């Protein structure tokens, strides 16, 4: 795609012009946006880029290891991982209100990230801000708006630390970021990844988050995604994920009664996440996924499918 090749070259040139001989800090989440931002910066300024990856213990199965592996293979960038799972899970202990969860995670994230960033001699902070985020924040200041969910970002950190922002994706939509990622040589598996929210699995685990619940959720989610990929449906879906409900129901396995939790499956199509339709799976597909999850994941004995569009539902449950 010549357009993306041109965009890449221009973006690299403009990063070099903006940054000069300066140093850049970039936060990694494992998602497509921050990864493409980091790789673009690596191409532009090499080892004057330091990536910081805060593992808050709320990532999906293998996600932290995948992020690490991707950057371990590049010796042109400095990669710092902070293992902060204990800190986050202790702070979330007993917290069930969705906004309280989001605020706790957001506050801790900024604290951990800032502490780590202060050890790096940075002049700039790179962010994977996309065009829809730019329009959303402009329209939010232009008139009254309702905050449905507090979003996760680095807050006032750039001002506090005197860092200037580098936002090389600010004119792009999600599908263009994916095309740019391909242009930069990133794997299809990575650029095609479904979006994942900053607060992670905490908002897919209604009620207080527990380590045991997160383990159950990770296993069930991995089976669901594996089946979606095997059926060749992954790229037709905007987001698919499991939600572990704080509700137990009665079931039967072999000749024994079970009393375990309910797992909800969600899958939607969308172009920007602002509105969404449910993905119309074949009911036999859902039955297969449910059977696998109940058989393979201890702690779940019933699976339901969320058939609510956005609006009135939101994509995430919290
Ligand atoms: P909702 O649940 O509001 O989600 O319909 C719309 C899209 O935004 C994602 N999402 C987030 N992404 N930080 C993020 O980076 C967040 O705090 C956050 N909350 C929701 C969600 O996964 C969906 O793609």
**pLDDT category, 312, cuts 50, 70, 90?**
very high
**pLDDT category, 305, cuts 50, 70, 90?**
very high
Residue 243 Cβ < 6 Å to ligand 1: no
**Is the model's pTM score more than 0.90?**
yes
pLDDT at 244: 98
Ligand 1 pocket test target in 54, 108, 149, 177 with most atoms within 8 Å of CB: 149
Polymer length of the chain:
318
Measured by CA distance, the residue closest to atom 21 of ligand 1 is 197
How far is the C-alpha of 57 from the C-alpha of 86, rounded, in Å? 7
> Is position 33 annotated in a ligand binding site?
yes
Q: Which residues face 261 on adjacent strands?
A: 248, 300
How far is the C-alpha of 54 from the C-alpha of 66, rounded, in Å? 14
Measured by CA distance, the residue closest to atom 14 of ligand 1 is 197
Q: How would CATH label the architecture of 2-191?
A: 3-Layer(aba) Sandwich (3.40)
Asked if the model's pLDDT at residue 169 lies above 60, the reply is yes
Residues 50-60: pLDDT tens digits? 999 999 999 99
57: alpha, beta or left? (left if phi > 0; alpha if psi -120 to 50): left
Residue of 207, 220, 218 whose CA lies nearest to 292 = 220
Q: Which residues of 105-120 are buried (b: 16+ CB within 10 A; e: fewer)?
A: bbebbbebbbebbeee
Listed by start position, the domains of the chain span 2-191, 210-305
Asked if the model's pLDDT at residue 76 lies above 90, the reply is no
> Is position 31 annotated in a ligand binding site?
yes
Share of the chain above pLDDT 90, in %: 82
Residues 235-276: pLDDT tens digits? 999 999 999 999 999 999 999 999 999 999 999 999 889 999
Average pLDDT, the chain: 93
Q: Select the more confidently predicted residue: 8 or 144.
A: 8
For range 163-189, the mean pLDDT: 94
Residues 214-237: pLDDT tens digits? 999 999 999 999 999 999 999 999
| 118, 92 Cβ separation under 8 angstroms | no
Q: How far is CA 220 from the centre of its chain?
A: 17
pLDDT at 139: 56
Residues 99-158: pLDDT tens digits? 999 999 999 999 999 999 999 999 999 999 998 888 766 655 444 456 677 776 676 888
Residue 248 Cβ < 6 Å to ligand 1: no
> Is position 34 annotated in a ligand binding site?
yes
Output the CA 207–ligand 1 centroid distance in Å: 18
For the chain, the straight-line distance linking the first and the last C-alpha, in angstroms and rounded, comes to 38
Ligand 1 pocket test target in 195, 316, 317, 318 with most atoms within 8 Å of CB: 316
Measured by CA distance, the residue closest to atom 17 of ligand 1 is 151
Asked if the model's pLDDT at residue 70 lies above 90, the reply is no
Out of 3.10.129.10, 3.30.300.10, 2.40.50.140, 3.50.50.60, which CATH number does the structure's domain 210-305 have? 3.30.300.10
């Amino acid at each position: 795609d010549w357009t993306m090749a041109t965009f890449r070259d221009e973006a690299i040139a403009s990063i070099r012009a903006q940054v000069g001989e300066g140093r850049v800090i970039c936060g990694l989440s494992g998602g497509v946006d921050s990864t493409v931002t980091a790789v673009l910066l690596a191409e532009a300024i090499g080892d004057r880029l330091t990536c910081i990856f805060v593992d808050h213990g709320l990532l999906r199965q293998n996600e932290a290891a995948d992020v690490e592996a991707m950057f371990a293979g590049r010796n042109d960038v400095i990669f710092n991982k902070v293992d902060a799972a204990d800190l986050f899970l202790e702070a979330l202990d007993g917290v069930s209100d969705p906004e309280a969860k989001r605020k706790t995670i957001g506050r801790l994230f900024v604290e951990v990230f800032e502490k780590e960033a202060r050890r790096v001699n940075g002049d700039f902070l790179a962010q994977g801000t996309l065009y829809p985020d730019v329009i959303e924040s402009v329209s939010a200041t232009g008139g009254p708006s309702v905050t449905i969910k507090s979003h996760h970002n680095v807050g006032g950190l750039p001002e506090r630390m005197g860092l200037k922002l580098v936002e090389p994706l600010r004119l792009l939509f999600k599908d263009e970021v994916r095309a740019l990622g391909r242009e930069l040589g990133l794997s299809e598996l990575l650029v095609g990844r479904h979006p994942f929210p900053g607060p992670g699995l905490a908002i897919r685990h209604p009620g207080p988050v527990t380590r045991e619940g997160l383990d159950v959720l990770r296993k069930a989610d991995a089976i669901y995604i594996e089946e979606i990929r095997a059926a060749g449906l992954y790229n037709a879906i905007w987001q698919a994920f499991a939600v572990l409900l704080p509700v137990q129901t009665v079931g039967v396995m072999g000749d024994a009664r079970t009393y375990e939790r309910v797992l909800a499956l969600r899958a939607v199509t969308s172009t920007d996440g602002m509105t969404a339709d449910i993905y119309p799976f074949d009911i036999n597909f859902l039955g297969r996924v449910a059977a696998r999850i109940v058989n393979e994941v201890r702690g779940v004995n019933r699976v339901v499918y969320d058939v609510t569009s956005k609006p009135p539902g939101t994509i995430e449950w919290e």
